[in-house]
Structure 1
Amino acid sequence: MPRVLSDERRDFVQAIAEFCRRECGTKQQRDELTGGGEHPHNQELYGKMAELGWLGAYIPEEYGGAGLGMTELCLFLEETAYGRAPIGGFATTIISAAAYAKFGSPEQKRTVLEGVVAGRLEAVSMSEPGAGSDVGALTCKAERRDGGWVINGQKTWCSNAHISDHILLTARTTPGGTKHEGLTQFMVPTGTPGLEIRGIDTMGGREVNDLYFTDCFLPEDAVVGTVDQGWKQLMAGLNLERMILAALMLGTARRAFDDTVGYVKEREQFGRPIGSFQALRHRIADMATELECARLLLDDVARQIDADPERTFPREASMAKLKCTELAKHVSLEGMQMLGGYGYATEYGMEALLRETVVSTVYGGTSEIQRDIIGKTYGL
């Protein structure tokens, strides 16, 4: 079904779509931009988007942004994902920027938010080898010393740390109490002595990192927000993180679906296009229906957030993340099956979509965690 958008939003989406077709519309272009898929982020392309003002769409006007809402942010994410734009650093940048906008000092806000508009990147670090879904179990510690803080410990799965200006770090500042107490967030420049960033090899290319802190000194003004209130600050940003990931995967699912439909219309076996066989035609129909349901859900949650930005939507945002990521994985797997051997070939690109979507049900809170959150909102 056609999406009902205002003239401004329709023009916004069309401009992004045209940009992606022109700049990264072919596999050859994308391979050149990403080193054959090894680097999910291309800074030159990202800089062009900054010049167009798109990266600052969600940033307040006082910092050079457009001050737009969740709806516009989701449209941008969905369309760039559909267009296969290699801007993998944008999601963590916006997640970090929102935290600074809510809790940062005036100087932190200026540095980060104006940097986002200009095309610079940010990273956020929570997970540890022993603290993934159970983020509250983290042990990386920050101790007061010499008028500042000294960080020791290891973090892992930190997306884009190697290409970012700063890392928004969550560390334990006060031991004892419950596991959700005594956590604090810090702004850590990536060149700080005592911080080592070491890449982790994945099937998605060079994207995530281990972080090693060894007597890493930070000044007092590196604290973001309030000491020992890091858990509450983390919870305040979950709407945004889940909506970002949902929008990205909705766009990726749409791309996998359209590529699959295009293939089954052209590929002939037994004297007819394979899409004309009922077994495939019905699967296509089911996926199209599920995509429309996911889009309607995401659009509705975005509108609710725009109408009441200070309210948290744990149930709705988790539903959007769960639905869009699981659907993206399903659609890419179906695409792989329908393309047959060609789905496995890098020439056709479905295998890349599969690699991207499989991990989406893990990062940003696994599907199991999303279901648990949704269940708890019903008093279970």
Structure 2
Amino acid sequence: MNFDLTDEQEMMRDTFARFLDENSSTVRVRKAHETAGFDSALWSGLADLGAFAMRVPEDAGGMGLGLFDAALLMEEAGRTLVSGPLAEALVAARLLGQLGGQEDLLEQAIAGEAVVTIAMHDLAERPKQWIAGGTVARAVIARRGSEVVLAVLAEGAAKAEENLATTPIAEIELAAAELTVLASGEEAVQAFGAALEEWKLYMAVALSGLGRQALQMAAAYAGERKAFGQLIGTFQGISHPLADLVCDTDGAKFLAWKAIRDIFDGSAEAGPTISLAYWYACDAAARAVAQGLHTFGGYGLSNEYDIHLYNLRAKAWPLVAGDPALALEEAGRRLYAGEQPALPESGEVPLDFDLGDEARQVCAEIAELFATKVTPEQKAKFHYSWEGYVPEVHKMLAEHNLLFPGLPEHLSGRNITPYARIAAMGEMERQGYNTPGANVAAMVAMVIDKYGSDELKAEVLPQIVNGDVLCSLGYSEPSCGSDVFAAQCKATQQEDGSWRIDGTKMWTSGANLSTYVLMLTRTNPDVPKHKGLTMFIVPLKTEGVTVQAVHTFQDERTNVTFYDGVVVPDSWRLGEIDGGVKTMSAALELEHGGGFSKVMKAMIEAAEALTEELGIAGEVRTQCRLARSVAHLWISDMLTYRSQWASVEKKPNHGFGPMSKMYSSEKFLSDSRDLLDLTAPVSLSKREGPAGFLNQCYRHAAGTTIYGGTSEVHRSMVAERGLGLPRTRG
């Protein structure tokens, strides 16, 4: 897996970024308004850096670089609001190079001496249409039926007029221009169609860069502006919407990245991913700039503040092609009606979202075990919750050294790469064996191995790693919820050195199935709450422990556990007295930023099957809503991949794990609601099959935004780590 750029790409991106910071500053963007939104000096400078030659084939005098290289430029162009039709010029120059016959014009376009742009719609259907860069263009490449033509614009053919963001657009009667046929036939039409797909990718990454910058500007303002005596960035009403939108803008970029990699791989997902990336970026950028402006309050409306420039440009760039919602319909046709678009050549792509050969081998081994060692009766017990625990399967995985792939070799019994570990855990979930019990047992084993006494390592640790027992977590309390460090369950040391534990733990999932609980207790009430905590292993069969069931509407059992004078020896303490926070950190070593992609995918597949049964699969509304859910699924995948990659490769932590969990759980919730609506009223039934599964997903999804840390907690983490906002939690 790789999210890194090559050294050459890093250098190229930095070069463009530095140039644009200086030559496309907001001062220059405002200045360009005086010349209908086009900065000729900027255009010449981009040409000097080779921008317009990037995608032109080498045999036509260009650089022959890949889609991803140009996408890096476009992200920087979006961040700096480039004044000129850059995306259109890139694809137009490539078309001139591919189709040939216009060498002089191509040379002028590459040199920045002539602006050549592209028409979005067939001249046979729309002879008059809006053209990006129309007021400054010397020529426009367009499709006319089965021909690709060059429209050379006469002076005065394009009339500048006031528009939303003062960009150099114009409505032009192209049929009245001097037209030259560049090429005709299926191959020419395919080349032009591929150019439009390339434009969508460039627009997606540009809008992502634009939206991300608007959020950064808002975060910076929220970090210095005070209201009611506090920085407004500490208000969750300010920080949390920004955190949501960082996920959306990053997700839009990653959809475009996925599309580029899909083209390189020849994946059937390439076409729909392009459509979804463009649609999603249009929507995400529009929401990001609106929230960014809102963060500035009334100042955001003032012409003196730059945020309004982003608000206007987010709409001005894509709408020249028409309603972005049409791209969602297009994605639906590509996913579900067999529509096959022409695709541009990708060139070399450094991105890699594959977990590798070892990961595939481990997954194949797990699949074989589930096919040969797990009975239908055992599979019938599988469930996403702790209640899906099957002791025989748990033990079988331990015997094959596959129960705890995330643990080091001396605990798991197997030395595999981190990516193979990630794949193994995903494969078990794909098999339907969701293993929260195993995940918690792994966490407890890690903590005992790092902080446990010799007695715990000899008595408890072997039981866990051999698959003989489960463990649960005693973190949350009735009065604390996600604020686990506010725990009040008290541990008092006795004269003989042992500890007496008294109190209540809430949401002790699996306590009815477990032998031990990893418990966070209050050992010192006289110091700040983070400093007076101590961790223990407590046997759940000990006198004074009561486990009481709490049933949820999700078909899931959890528990409330009571501890009344429970005594454990000091040797069952983990770490230092009052050092519980440090001890808990060991569990974070297993953090890879997981999400809920597997169940989201299964939910979509169930919805697809049910819409077929209901006879609505061919309807546009059905295709659009399924396609929207697919976009959320693929973004969830990409955010998770980034988080896993950053964890494994020890990259800086910018809240990638919380972004992955929060985004996927929130989209799982909203999509489960929407797909339940789409397939109503049969989705009301709990009958076996896709209807019952969708029904369960709707109930299951509600919990995913709560356990493992609520979405609000994760939003605060994203705001702080990803946007640099001040701390929003006590």
Show the counterpart of 1:180: 530
Show the counterpart of 2:613: 267
Show the counterpart of 1:286: 628
Q: Say whether residues 1:379 and 2:725 are aligned partners.
A: yes
Match of 1:335 among 675, 693, 696: 675
Q: Say whether residues 1:351 and 2:699 are aligned partners.
A: no
Show the counterpart of 1:78: 426
Whether the 8 Å CA contact 1:140–1:154 is kept in 2: the answer is: yes
Q: CA deviation at 1:215?
A: 0.9
Q: 1:15 to 1:284 in 2, by over 3 A?
A: farther
Whether the 8 Å CA contact 2:470–2:514 is kept in 1: the answer is: yes
Q: 1:334 to 1:51 in 2, by over 3 A?
A: farther
Q: 1:112 to 1:339 in 2, by over 3 A?
A: farther
Match of 2:619 among 259, 271, 277: 277
Match of 1:47 among 391, 395, 403: 395
Show the counterpart of 1:218: 568
Q: CA deviation at 1:38?
A: 9.5
Q: Say whether residues 1:301 and 2:643 are aligned partners.
A: yes
What is the alpha-carbon distance in structure 1 between the residues aligned to residue 373 and residue 427 of structure 2? Answer: 14
Q: Say whether residues 1:315 and 2:655 are aligned partners.
A: yes
Q: Say whether residues 1:133 and 2:487 are aligned partners.
A: no
Partner letter of residue 77 of structure 1? M
State which structure, 1 or 2, has the greater radius of gyration over its C-alpha atoms: 2
What is the alpha-carbon distance in structure 2 between the residues aligned to residue 259 and residue 340 of structure 1? Answer: 13
Whether the 8 Å CA contact 1:78–1:252 is kept in 2: the answer is: no
**Which digits, 9 at most, give the CA deviation of each residue in 1:161-188, with x for residues without a partner?**
1211211100001111211111000011
What is the alpha-carbon distance in structure 1 between the residues aligned to residue 698 and residue 543 of structure 2? Answer: 38
Q: CA deviation at 1:233?
A: 2.7
Match of 1:147 among 489, 492, 497: 497
1:8-19 to 2 correspondence within 5 Å? 8-17=358-367, 19=369
Show the counterpart of 1:62: 410
Partner letter of residue 91 of structure 1? N
**Which digits, 9 at most, give the CA deviation of each residue in 1:39-93, with x for residues without a partner?**
3322222222223321132222223522445534433333333332254412322
Whether the 8 Å CA contact 1:167–1:189 is kept in 2: the answer is: yes
What is the alpha-carbon distance in structure 1 between the residues aligned to residue 700 and residue 601 of structure 2? Answer: 13
Q: 1:228 to 1:206 in 2, by over 3 A?
A: same
What is the alpha-carbon distance in structure 1 between the residues aligned to residue 364 and residue 502 of structure 2? Answer: 47
Q: 1:226 to 1:43 in 2, by over 3 A?
A: same
Show the counterpart of 2:248: none
What is the alpha-carbon distance in structure 2 between the residues aligned to residue 122 and residue 367 of structure 1? Answer: 25
**Which digits, 9 at most, give the CA deviation of each residue in 1:209-230, with x for residues without a partner?**
1111111111011110111011
Q: How many percent identity over aligned positions? A: 26
What is the alpha-carbon distance in structure 2 between the residues aligned to residue 291 and residue 108 of structure 1? Answer: 42
Q: Which moved more, 1:214-223 or 1:225-234?
A: 225-234
What is the alpha-carbon distance in structure 1 between the residues aligned to residue 543 and residue 536 of structure 2? Answer: 15
Show the counterpart of 2:444: 96
What is the alpha-carbon distance in structure 2 between the residues aligned to residue 110 and residue 17 of structure 1? Answer: 33
SS of equivalent residue, structure 2 residue 354: coil
Q: What are the ranges of 5 or more consecutive residues in structure 1 without an aligned counterpart? A: none
Partner letter of residue 354 of structure 1? Y
Q: CA deviation at 1:369?
A: 0.7
What is the alpha-carbon distance in structure 1 between the residues aligned to residue 465 and residue 473 of structure 2? Answer: 18
Q: CA deviation at 1:108?
A: 2.8
Whether the 8 Å CA contact 1:16–1:79 is kept in 2: the answer is: yes
Q: What are the ranges of 5 or more consecutive residues in structure 2 without an aligned counterpart? A: 1-261, 268-352
Whether the 8 Å CA contact 2:504–2:562 is kept in 1: the answer is: yes
What is the alpha-carbon distance in structure 1 between the residues aligned to residue 555 and residue 614 of structure 2? Answer: 34
What is the alpha-carbon distance in structure 2 between the residues aligned to residue 360 and residue 65 of structure 1? Answer: 31
Partner letter of residue 50 of structure 1? A
Whether the 8 Å CA contact 1:200–1:208 is kept in 2: the answer is: yes
SS of equivalent residue, structure 2 residue 609: helix
**Which digits, 9 at most, give the CA deviation of each residue in 1:133-167, with x for residues without a partner?**
22222111000103211001111101111211211
Q: Which moved more, 1:315-324 or 1:331-340?
A: 331-340
Partner letter of residue 613 of structure 2? R
Whether the 8 Å CA contact 2:603–2:672 is kept in 1: the answer is: yes
Q: 1:373 to 1:213 in 2, by over 3 A?
A: same
Q: CA deviation at 1:286?
A: 2.0
What is the alpha-carbon distance in structure 2 between the residues aligned to residue 255 and residue 376 of structure 1? Answer: 33
Q: CA deviation at 1:260?
A: 1.7
SS of equivalent residue, structure 2 residue 479: coil
Match of 2:704 among 356, 360, 363: 360
Whether the 8 Å CA contact 1:40–1:205 is kept in 2: the answer is: no
What is the alpha-carbon distance in structure 2 between the residues aligned to residue 67 and residue 54 of structure 1? Answer: 11
Q: 1:15 to 1:208 in 2, by over 3 A?
A: same
Question: How many residues align structurally?
Answer: 368
What is the alpha-carbon distance in structure 1 between the residues aligned to residue 356 and residue 372 of structure 2? Answer: 24
Whether the 8 Å CA contact 2:443–2:587 is kept in 1: the answer is: yes
Q: 1:74 to 1:50 in 2, by over 3 A?
A: same
* TM-score, length-scaled by structure 1: 0.86
Q: Say whether residues 1:255 and 2:597 are aligned partners.
A: no
**Which digits, 9 at most, give the CA deviation of each residue in 1:240-268, with x for residues without a partner?**
3573xx34x2211111122222333x224
Whether the 8 Å CA contact 1:241–1:364 is kept in 2: the answer is: no
Q: 1:79 to 1:342 in 2, by over 3 A?
A: farther
Whether the 8 Å CA contact 1:150–1:218 is kept in 2: the answer is: yes
Show the counterpart of 2:315: none
